[in-house]
Structure 1
Amino acid sequence: MTDRQLDEIHLTDVADFQLSDLLVRPSALEILNTDKQVFSVEPRCMKVLVALHQRSGDVVSRDELLQRCWQGRIVSDGAINRCIGQLRKLISPHPGLSIDTIAKIGYRLQNSDLAAFSLSSESHWPSFRMLVLGSLLLVVVSVILYGGWFNYGAQWSTNQVTPLTAKQGVETQPALSPDGRQLAFVTRGENGSWDIHLQELNGVAARVLIDGKADDIYPVWRNDGRKLLFNRVEDERCTLMMLDLLTQRQHKVTECEPGGYGRATFVGNSEQVIVSRSQAHDDRRRLYLIDWIKATESVLTTPPAGSHGDLDPVLSPDGSKLLFRRTPSAGVNDLMVADLANGQLQDLQQLTFDGWKAHGAAWAADGHSIFFSSSRGGDWGLWAIDSTGGSPYRLNWGTTPITQIATNTRGELVAEMWQARRHLYWLDQDTPQQTITAETWSPDIDTHGRIAFVSMASGSPQVWLMNDRGLRQLTHRQASFVHGPVWSNDSGLLAFVAVTQRQAQLFLLSALDGEPVQLTQVTGDKANPQFLPDDDGLVFLARSEQQGWQLATADVQSGLVTGYPELGNDWLALRAGPAGIFAKRRQSPVFWQLKWHEGQLTTAPTLITTHGNRPWVVIEQGIATIESDGIWQLKTNGERVQLDTTRLSKGVADLAFDPSRQRLLIMDGDEDESHIALIGLDRP
């Protein structure tokens, strides 16, 4: 065995391989069966499978697994046993595959189909060769008949990356003009609002295209380059606007979705647009076809009950197909494509099934391939898939996360390169308690002053801990999204939501050095878990199969979930703290207080009101929240006390309350950096 064989396994360097009737894709953390079902595998467990496979049936010692899969760190026997157990569960239904335990030594991967395949391949070589030659001939004829299409079905790759913007701060939501000469993007203006800028790609400095007191976001070009669509957000209201670039006149098209913005799209060079929004009684987002001149609209999609709906529609270059993202639950995005004909969608097809997030998607110029940014590789990268289906494959292996993307009919692609930076401040201090150079969210503080939060610092969403000794990663799960970590009242448990294999479930972590335990087994999205006063249960938001969000509880011992549909299905947010458990309802300024008594949950409105859905947290005597003129304490008796007027300039992203020292933690995101680059594409 060479020294190289004992090197750490880097999954991005491992080629796909076959095990019996399974296709293993290490770089994508996926195993596919013959029915095109996709099974996600945790990174550590995938490394173990690769290590076993690379030894071709030989025994692999536990020490070798630790060196190659855990970087030589000392971990418990349970960590290796857990991975072996997961792998056995995945491969056991498939013929000829097994993992043997060699007592006190290690493990061996048995693939009895391997020898049979070699013999059958040799004995049937003549017929196999004729089959290959016939297939090649058929491909050649097909290419000729198709009109000389070059390398149809070959994989795209990236080449040169050319920065287009470099201003300090956030430059986001790129939109490349059809002729490739101009880039529209969004950045903060001098007055603090988000403005649309226009960058000439011949070296001329960017200029403000649309500015004002409102936030103008998500620009989209019409195919002829004469008009732009964009969202205008002001006082929590969203309006879809159209700008005529020749006359500079702006027109209102329709109302758009408050609080959940996204791109709209033109239908060719017409006055029709496709926009995503929800209905007053149902927060599932649907796609609508709107003719703003004729003042008509029609519904294009009806997403399944219990989902978050559809957003970010993008038409193919010839206008015949519509691509959009469907969100079954937070942290899961499915790419969907359908034919658009006579104002209706036909032959709707789901392209991705594996439950990862897709932040943005766009068509290639050929109208066959689709590019999208996704976290499926453990970090945010650029991926591609054929519009007729198949397996996604990754295009880039850079270290900078790629989030939103856009293309044009010339075959050019622009991408947003994002670098997040979060500062944690105490309200009365100007020096950060901690700075984290990664996207970070959902802080919560226990009675000992320990701060739990979710961060992408390790490349994927994980729960982290901050205390007097510094930072420590608590979880190492493979999940497309993690959110809502919350401490129990006695600080002995930590609960959170993790989305794995397309399902959001509640997890509990009792020993901070142990493995999280899955608490719930029920389907449907979940959010904002909070411990009940006696710590023997959790109250959380559960998305019903019918519509909206309901209140639910889960027993900490059994995981039994109880829903409370009689309390309504329009809940928006839920928090607990020293003053009790509070909740907000959709499209209502009133806060409600939750009471738990003898196994029953009741709600009652309070005197606390605030508009919008800005960050808030429960503190002593009420809540603390962000408003337009600062941070305020809103007491249960209706009294309002202003706590801070300067922190808003730092871009508050979240709040947490320290119950032991009665102080407020502020997580800001003012120093995020994102720039836009042109990514060259090759197709072999």
Structure 2
Amino acid sequence: MANKLPSYFKLDTWLIDIDQNQITDLDGKSSKLEPKSMLVLQYLASKPRETISRDDLFEACWPNQVVTEDALNRVISSLRRKLGDTAGSPKFIATVRNAGYKLIVPIHELDNPRFIDTTTSNSEEHLATSQTLTEQKPVLQKKKIRSLVAICFSLLLGCIILIYSFQKDPEIAKHQFERISYNTQQNSMPKLASNGEVLAFIQQSVNHPNKLKIRYLPDTYAEDISAANKHYLYPSFYNSADNIAVLSQDIKTNLIQIEKITLSNKTSEPLLKIPHMSHGLSVHPKGDEIVFTQPISTNAQSQNHTIYTFNQKQQKMYPIFLPHSQYSDRLPNYSPSGEYIAFLRNKSQFQDALFVSDMNGKTTQLSNYNDTIFDLTWISNHQIIITKNKGVYIFDLDKKEQIWHSASPLQSYQEITYSLDTKQLILTAKQTINTANIFDLTNSTDGYLLTKAEAQDTELSVNYNGTAFVFVTNRSGKKSLWFRKSNKTNIIKNTEADEIYDLVWHPNNQYLVAAYKLQSEYGLMIYDLNTQTVYKKRYNKNPIHIIDWRNNQELLISVENNLQWKLNTVSFNNFIPTALRPIENSAELDIFQGRLSPNKKTLYFLTSNKSHIFSWDFKASPQVINLKTENIYRNWFVDNTKLFHFNLPTWNRSTNQKVADLIAFDFKTQATSIIKQYPNIQMQYRPQRLINGFTAVKNNKLQGDLWLIETNFD
């Protein structure tokens, strides 16, 4: 800040006292400002009639902090409200479109009357003043004592209120949670019958196919109604509690179909064979239609799904609406009346939104694309409840949102179902235990364990000389970066975020860069291995994907903008990142996920509709690669001659494990080959290419139980 920051000044008719966080009008009426609001006003006043960018305000008033754009918006709104100002007809603070803010009136700095000038030349006057102060000392001391007592009492009262608020969460106190299952496996995808008397759910474990379970409430134990050699997903009740529809996959033939199961006699009836596993299933209340998802492209080149309905009487399936190739839809769910279908639409890795469609295909977006949404269910014909990391939320069809339950740092609820008849809500609290591993392509398939804990260790990256590695984990209760060097594993301070991904080491082995998401903001965090320091650079609400270092000074990044992913570069000055800058000749390219060849000459990228992979030398037009992309998302890496990716896991009956084929595609011969099979690979996390192998995340254990809440949403 080159300009002097004023501390006591007049702003038109207002007297501003920075030290007291106080503003006073012409009538002598004073009011307090929040410290952050006063800091922003002080910074604007240091440069009156100059446009100050939002970035400058963030750096000056929120140094080394990651905050949302709304933080500054709220402060500016608060200042205008206090000063009697408006954005439309500003008298003090003007918004400069696409530039920042400007204080449009001059300021007049004043001497602060609280500071006494002790340099007077009149010794008698100085003596008189001293005598007066001495005579007043007992009175002042009494006032000070009374003030101190008042301050101590206020602090004590504040501490009591704060402790009480932590001990008694008002959201949790309002709801009576009852754990209704105790299993070593993971209970998921619960679905209550409309009468609330029967619960269907899926029981998952690492080394066994999913089982279909039925529980007659209030019985304690569930009944396994799974058929041998079948893998089940997404049960959904018909209007009768005796019938359910469910997705099944034969683990021998991989045949996928929708089945109707009658519970009273345990019989199964195949309804529809589908080419690809659906991302959800729901039965119409009348029982004549089923809604599910399938890939947008008929040849399944695209992984993005859209919503179909199947009419059981007509034996026909058709899409509800025209699909959009850049979105993927999942978890369709009929409303209790059957007039609407609620569903989730995915825009990027951590951005879901809640949508509703009528039966004519007219869609309405109810929420923003800010967070990952786990599940949804209807609680009435006009209200939907969803689960996110931050808690459980209710949405009306008129787009009103309210939080119903706040999640704790160690407990969040994911899948959800509700019975209108019994007013019972059932949720799952799930935990996935992952380990970070390194695999040698010249040796065994088992790999070498790098991390092991009762936690969700996700993406990892080993530096090029193999002396250290960094990984993402929730061991501290929130996602953060941890590092291991020799036999020491420690948390990297100041790296907590909602999501951390795309870990890439600099060629000098000292710096690691990772993408992060905090609230609705995306940015980069840079970790210095030598000094153990972290620097964060916040960009905006547009999602980013890190590709790789193009050279020692430039990092390639793809950034989402209006459903297109654009290639950018970030330069570094003493390893502090600068602004994003578009790459030359890339304006027309859609680069969703990218991998750079080790020799830095070729960029391979997957488009946002996930239908094609291209190669590009940064000069000529990109060339399409003749490779099926239906199973490629983040689970791929390249060397100078081949592209490696994992296929979707299948069951290996000889080892009784879920295994994924590692496929190699040769750029020169255009031939594909299966390298090896790897068990329990987590496909959603990015692997890292090494000289003779790669790193990947394995699923070690699944845990999760069902919780019941009796509540009335009326």
Give the Cα separation in 2 of the matches to 1:309 and 1:625: 21
CA RMSD of aligned residues (A): 4.8
- Aligned partner letter, 2:274: E
Contact 1:578–1:659 (8 Å) recurs in 2: no
Query: Which of 356, 359, 365 is matched with 1:337 structurally?
Result: 356
Equivalent residue number for residue 668 of structure 1? 698
**Aligned partner of residue 670 in structure 1, secondary structure:** strand
Query: Which of 496, 504, 507 is matched with 1:489 structurally?
Result: 507
Equivalent residue number for residue 375 of structure 2? 360
> Deviation per CA, 1:70-109, whole angstroms, max 9, x where unpaired?
xxxxxx998667579974443213433499xxxxxxxxxx
Contact 2:281–2:332 (8 Å) recurs in 1: yes
Contact 2:370–2:519 (8 Å) recurs in 1: yes
- Tell me the TM-score normalized by structure 2: 0.62
User: Which stretch shows the higher mean deviation, 586-595 or 494-503?
Assistant: 586-595
> Deviation per CA, 1:158-201, whole angstroms, max 9, x where unpaired?
53323333221222111122232322221247972223222333
The change in CA–CA distance for 1:184 and 1:619 in structure 2 (over 3 A counts) is farther
The change in CA–CA distance for 1:415 and 1:667 in structure 2 (over 3 A counts) is same
Contact 2:459–2:685 (8 Å) recurs in 1: yes
Give the Cα separation in 2 of the matches to 1:532 and 1:236: 42
Query: Which of 432, 456, 465 is matched with 1:439 structurally?
Result: 456
Matches within 5 A, 1:599-610: 602-603=622-623, 605=625
Equivalent residue number for residue 144 of structure 1? none
Query: Which of 288, 292, 303 is matched with 1:275 structurally?
Result: 292
Give the Cα separation in 2 of the matches to 1:651 and 1:496: 19
Matched, 1:413 2:443: no
Matched, 1:299 2:319: yes
The change in CA–CA distance for 1:208 and 1:633 in structure 2 (over 3 A counts) is same
Contact 1:165–1:675 (8 Å) recurs in 2: yes
Matched, 1:312 2:336: no
Measured after TM superposition, the shift of residue 506 of structure 1 is 5.8
The change in CA–CA distance for 1:244 and 1:501 in structure 2 (over 3 A counts) is same
The change in CA–CA distance for 1:669 and 1:419 in structure 2 (over 3 A counts) is same
> Deviation per CA, 1:86-138, whole angstroms, max 9, x where unpaired?
74443213433499xxxxxxxxxxxxxxxxxxxxxxxxxxxxxxxxxxxxxxx
> Deviation per CA, 1:202-222, whole angstroms, max 9, x where unpaired?
436333323343432111111
**Aligned partner of residue 213 in structure 2, secondary structure:** strand
**Aligned partner of residue 249 in structure 1, secondary structure:** strand
Contact 2:184–2:703 (8 Å) recurs in 1: yes
Query: Which of 230, 235, 238 is matched with 1:222 structurally?
Result: 238
- Tell me the TM-score normalized by structure 1: 0.64
Measured after TM superposition, the shift of residue 656 of structure 1 is 4.2
Measured after TM superposition, the shift of residue 417 of structure 1 is 0.7
Equivalent residue number for residue 374 of structure 1? 388
Contact 1:572–1:584 (8 Å) recurs in 2: yes
Query: Which of 414, 436, 443 is matched with 1:403 structurally?
Result: 414
The change in CA–CA distance for 1:368 and 1:493 in structure 2 (over 3 A counts) is same
Give the Cα separation in 2 of the matches to 1:286 and 1:195: 26
Measured after TM superposition, the shift of residue 359 of structure 1 is 0.9
Give the Cα separation in 1 of the matches to 2:502 and 2:462: 12
Give the Cα separation in 2 of the matches to 1:585 and 1:624: 13
> Deviation per CA, 1:215-237, whole angstroms, max 9, x where unpaired?
32111111222432222346777
- Aligned partner letter, 1:530: D
Give the Cα separation in 2 of the matches to 1:489 and 1:591: 30
Contact 1:158–1:396 (8 Å) recurs in 2: no
Query: Which of 679, 698, 701 is matched with 1:648 structurally?
Result: 679
**Aligned partner of residue 560 in structure 1, secondary structure:** strand
- Aligned partner letter, 1:295: Q
**Aligned partner of residue 679 in structure 2, secondary structure:** helix
The change in CA–CA distance for 1:425 and 1:476 in structure 2 (over 3 A counts) is closer
Matches within 5 A, 1:261-272: 261-272=278-289
Measured after TM superposition, the shift of residue 668 of structure 1 is 1.9
Give the Cα separation in 2 of the matches to 1:85 and 1:337: 28
Equivalent residue number for residue 400 of structure 2? 390
Measured after TM superposition, the shift of residue 583 of structure 1 is 4.9
- Aligned partner letter, 2:269: Q
User: Which stretch shows the higher mean deviation, 417-426 or 283-292?
Assistant: 283-292
Listed as ranges, the gaps of 5+ residues in structure 1 are 1-48, 50-55, 62-75, 100-154
Give the Cα separation in 1 of the matches to 2:329 and 2:538: 29
Matched, 1:169 2:185: yes
Contact 1:495–1:506 (8 Å) recurs in 2: no
Contact 1:175–1:221 (8 Å) recurs in 2: yes
The change in CA–CA distance for 1:650 and 1:310 in structure 2 (over 3 A counts) is closer
- Aligned partner letter, 1:330: Q
User: Which stretch shows the higher mean deviation, 670-679 or 505-514?
Assistant: 505-514
Measured after TM superposition, the shift of residue 393 of structure 1 is 1.3
Query: Which of 582, 585, 597 is matched with 1:561 structurally?
Result: 582
> Deviation per CA, 1:500-533, whole angstroms, max 9, x where unpaired?
6757x563626562332246x695x554623335
Matched, 1:290 2:290: no
The change in CA–CA distance for 1:300 and 1:367 in structure 2 (over 3 A counts) is same
- Aligned partner letter, 1:287: I
Matched, 1:423 2:435: yes
User: Which stretch shows the higher mean deviation, 226-235 or 285-294?
Assistant: 226-235
Identity of aligned residues (%): 11
The change in CA–CA distance for 1:278 and 1:502 in structure 2 (over 3 A counts) is farther
Give the Cα separation in 2 of the matches to 1:296 and 1:200: 33
Contact 2:436–2:459 (8 Å) recurs in 1: no
Contact 2:183–2:703 (8 Å) recurs in 1: no
**Aligned partner of residue 668 in structure 1, secondary structure:** strand
Matches within 5 A, 1:38-437: 57=32, 82=65, 87-94=71-78, 95-97=80-82, 159-188=175-204, 192-203=208-219, 205-233=221-249, 238-245=256-263, 248-253=267-272, 255=274, 258=277, 261-280=278-297, 284-302=304-322, 306=326, 308-338=327-357, 340=358, 343-345=359-361, 348-353=363-368, 355-364=370-379, 366-375=380-389, 377=390, 381-398=391-408, 399-410=410-421, 411-427=423-439, 432-437=449-454
Measured after TM superposition, the shift of residue 272 of structure 1 is 0.9
The change in CA–CA distance for 1:304 and 1:491 in structure 2 (over 3 A counts) is farther
- Aligned partner letter, 2:463: D
Give the Cα separation in 1 of the matches to 2:404 and 2:369: 15
Equivalent residue number for residue 7 of structure 2? none
The change in CA–CA distance for 1:543 and 1:396 in structure 2 (over 3 A counts) is closer
The change in CA–CA distance for 1:387 and 1:232 in structure 2 (over 3 A counts) is same
> Deviation per CA, 1:449-498, whole angstroms, max 9, x where unpaired?
4333443445554444444442324654665x443222233445544444
Contact 2:206–2:699 (8 Å) recurs in 1: no
Equivalent residue number for residue 707 of structure 2? 677
The change in CA–CA distance for 1:433 and 1:97 in structure 2 (over 3 A counts) is farther
Larger Rg: 2
Measured after TM superposition, the shift of residue 350 of structure 1 is 3.2
The change in CA–CA distance for 1:659 and 1:92 in structure 2 (over 3 A counts) is same
Equivalent residue number for residue 124 of structure 1? none
Contact 1:651–1:670 (8 Å) recurs in 2: no
> Deviation per CA, 1:282-340, whole angstroms, max 9, x where unpaired?
6653333331331334433456674x2432122222333432222333312222335x4
Matched, 1:536 2:554: yes
Give the Cα separation in 2 of the matches to 1:533 and 1:213: 51
